[in-house]
Amino acid sequence: MSDLSSIFREALATGLKSQVLTTCSRWAEYRRVMGEPFPGPYSFKYHPWCRGIGDSRAQFNSAMKGAQLGVTEVAINRAFYTIDVLKRDVLYVLPTAINAADFSKSRFKAALLNSDYLASIFTDTNTISLKQAGGVNLYIRGSRGDNNLKSLPVSTLILDELDEMDQDQIWLALERLSGQREKNVWAISTPKIPNKGIHKLYSQGSQEKWIFTCPRCGKLTQFEWPDCVEIIGESVTDPRCSESFLKCKECNGRIEQEEKPEFLATGNWVAQSNKCSGDHRSFHLNQLYSYTVTAGELVVAHFRGLGDEAAATEFYNSKLGLPYIGEDAKITDDLFDSCLSTHTKEDRRPEAGGRLITMGIDVGKTCHIVVMEWFLERIGRDVNAAAIGRLLWEGTILASEFERLDYLMREWQVLACVIDAMPFTTDARRFARRFPGYVTLCNYRSGRTGKEITVNEDELGTATATVDRTSWMDASLGRFHTKRILLPKDVSRMFRDQVASPVRIYEKDNQGNYVASYTDTGADHFSHALTYSEIALPLAASYTQNQPVTAFL
């Protein structure tokens, strides 16, 4: 009898507890148990800002953040809370299928191992990409090449590390909410570049900051770099950097690291914008708020970024939670204007022979075309570095008008043309076969070395070059920085905008090393057409000198 009474009391207590767990934050405090670095029941002691994010009732929520600020756990809490309390399906999206599998095996599995309650509600966890709690589903997916995003009718979508994702696939995931009466989106990420990804979303929302009461002067304030850090030391190797400390930007009073849990708990999210687009709360956090990151560590990271673009990117993105573009990372209006010349696109066309002219074609529903003339004192090793290029013409044709390329080849007396091999491979091959030896298809591939060009022929003799995308974009776009490109004074606005679209960024590879790559901030077709015309230069030299292309790289 006593056993039955005990069971009844436990069931009653559990039922009553469930009735009061009406917010995500309360649910997390009672239902989740954490491991290191803060073991035990989930607590907001070291991350007080997380309560407001998790409890937001807005339909759309975005958090632009530095690393290791507890926000990912908010996303996990929100997923579990939605499944357990609200009884709704959740789609949790990570950048890649590998990320999704790692999340499923580590973060999800650890949550269940640490919490008997969570382990009890999930009835099926055998599938990596699908976890079931009774009749409610948690879908875990990668964003890249994952067509399953198109067939999941869920009401809650969580996008973890948005800026690392395939942005086209994200809109597919958002479309999954369109048929739901109740719908919520949570997007979190460290940012990369301005006006894209999480920074674009943050700018469209309420732009909230964590405002707290200074323990020295009693004024409301926030942590900002560099106003809230007393920088001590002069370089990354200076041992005095560890003496750096936080300070209030209102009174300059010193703030100790150990005080953070107490005074940050007085904070609240305060909107900085009243121009919010719809029901959208957006949040921003930097590592100055972190209990585990000291001012000295931030100062060292700051010094490391001086003169090192990769380290500067890491400092701004992961430490300050801010987008960042390096000084020479993109083509600015000033750079573009400095390369304008006196010639026009309507100048007299070349007559047969005597001029080194190449053409680059970026293929799509609209093909973007660039015609370049090259001037160099010698033809030899690294011909691209020795050459000055003059843009003769740029324009577009429809993909249905592929035959017009034949006219352009003859009109400009093109010695070498490089054309994008995708997406209309058949049309590109037919074009190449009409001009054997003059037209080469091109594929971008990682793993190439510098400006290496590997050319292979298919069974019908169609040449296809394989090149490293970043190295060749460095060569073509780098001309604007070195003033080794001459632009016609009537160059189109479209060309200008699309050449300015690519931004050179640094990302970690699989070994954790930073490598350069390009990301676009808009349409970038002409930038690739320009790059293809650059790749065509050593191919033209190879043709005119009757030597292998390797002699000119």
Distance between CA 171 and CA 166 in Å, rounded? 9
Which of 145, 174, 189 terminates a domain? The answer is: 189
To the nearest whole number, what is the mean pLDDT of the chain? 89
**Confidence grade of residue 8 (pLDDT, cut at 50, 70, 90):** very low
The verdict on residue 181 lying in a domain is yes
Q: Looking at the domain assignment, is residue 300 inside a domain?
A: no
Most confident of 19-23, 114-118, 283-287: 283-287
Q: How far is CA 513 from CA 89, 94, 297, 506, 516, in A?
A: 37, 21, 20, 9, 10
Specify the pLDDT at position 506. Answer: 85
Domain membership of residue 313 (yes or no) is: no
Give the residue, 327 or 261, on which the prediction is more confident: 261
Q: Taking the CB of residue 391, how many other CB atoms lie within 10 A of it?
A: 22
Domain final residue pick, 189, 216, 238: 189
pLDDT tens figures, 18-38 = 566 889 999 999 999 998 888
Pairing verdict, β 514-520 and 268-271: unpaired
Residue 213 maps to a domain: no
Interhelix angle 525-545/469-482, rounded to 10 degrees, is 90
Residues 454-459: what's their mean pLDDT?
85
CATH code of 492's domain: 3.30.420.240
pLDDT digits (tens, 9 = 90+) for 508-518: 777 777 788 89
Structure tokens at 207: 């732009």
Statement: residue 273 has pLDDT above 80? yes
Residue 494 belongs to domain spanning: 333-552
Identify whether 418 is part of a domain. Answer: yes
Could you tell me the two tokens for 549? 């292309």
Identify whether 447 is part of a domain. yes
Closest CA to 28 of 93, 103, 111: 111
d(CA 515, CA 294): 27
Residue 247 predicted with pLDDT over 80: yes
* pLDDT confidence bin for 230, thresholds 50/70/90: very high
Give, in degrees to the nearest 5, the angle at Cα 325 between 321 and 289: 15
Does position 10 have pLDDT exceeding 60, yes or no? no
User: Is residue 14 pLDDT above 60, yes or no?
Assistant: no
pLDDT, residue 278, reads 66
Out of 137, 164, 189, pick the residue that ends a domain. Answer: 189
pLDDT in tens, 176-225: 666 666 779 999 999 999 999 999 999 999 999 999 999 999 999 999 99
The type of residue at 382 is: D
Q: What is the rounded end-to-end Cα distance, in angstroms, of the chain?
A: 88
442 within a domain of the structure (yes/no): yes
Burial tier of 144 (Cβ tally within 10 Å: 0-12, 13-18, 19+): middle
- Whether 343 shows a pLDDT value over 70: the answer reads yes
pLDDT of residue 180: 66
Number of domains in the chain: 2
Token digits of residue 246? 């936080």
Secondary structure (3-state) at 217: coil
pLDDT digit string, tens, across residues 355-406: 999 999 999 999 999 999 999 877 888 899 999 999 999 999 998 899 999 9
Burial code (b: 16+ CB inside 10 Å, e: under 16) for 166-202 equals beebbebbbebbeeeeebbbbbbbbbbbeebbbbbbb
pLDDT (0 to 100) of residue 528: 97
Q: Is 59:183 a contact under the CB 8 Å cutoff?
A: yes
Residue 447: φ, ψ to 5°: 90, -5
CA 439/CA 346 separation, integer angstroms? 24
pLDDT in tens, 306-315: 989 999 999 9
Domain at 143, CATH number:
3.40.50.300
What whole-number distance in Å separates Cα of residue 455 and Cα of residue 539? 10
Least confident of 4-13, 292-301, 468-477: 4-13
Collect all residues with Cβ–Cβ distance below 8 Å to 345 and sequence separation of at least 6.
392, 393, 394, 395, 488, 490, 491
How high is the pLDDT of residue 447? 62
Residue type, 526: F
Share of the chain above pLDDT 90, in %: 65
122-180 tens-digit pLDDT: 888 778 888 888 889 898 988 876 555 666 677 889 999 999 987 777 776 676 666 66
Span of 70-84, 414-428, 497-511, 518-532 with lowest mean pLDDT: 497-511
- Evaluate whether residue 268 is within a structural domain: no
Q: Strand pairing of 245-247 and 229-230?
A: antiparallel
Long-range pairs of 41-50 with CB within 8 A, sequence gap ≥ 24: 42/73, 42/77, 45/261, 45/265, 46/70, 46/260, 46/261, 46/291, 46/292, 47/73, 48/261, 48/264, 48/265, 48/267, 49/210, 49/264, 49/267, 49/269, 49/283, 49/285, 49/289, 50/25, 50/74
Tell me the CA distances in angstroms from 96 to 69, 144, 159, 166, 214, one per residue in order. Answer: 22, 6, 12, 9, 42
